[in-house]
Amino acid sequence: MEQRPVFVKIEEYHEVLNLVKTIRRKLEEAKDTLGKINELKNEEDHQIELWHNALDEIEKKVDFVDHSFNEPEQF
């Protein structure tokens, strides 16, 4: 297959270049946004883990109090 040169109007060429620049800029914006979302998700996961730990600690204390009231003291 013989390759032949392709001719493009200068106006269209510049439009295509501008479009490619716009697409690249939008891709970078999307990557930045996704990075921010990921940071927020990590922060949220950390907070949820702290809440789980706090609830576990509270549950242990409640179990201790419950056990203390339900077990007769040994004299």
CA–chain centroid gap for 68, Å, is 44
Q: How many Å is the maximal CA-CA distance in the chain?
A: 104
pTM of the model: 0.63
Residue 70 pLDDT: 85
pLDDT digits 0-9 by tens, 12-48: 888 999 999 999 999 999 999 999 999 999 999 999 9
> What are the tokens at 57?
């600690």
Residue 68's pLDDT is: 87
pLDDT of residue 69: 87
Please state, rounded to an integer, the average pLDDT across all residues of the chain: 91
Residue type for position 25: R
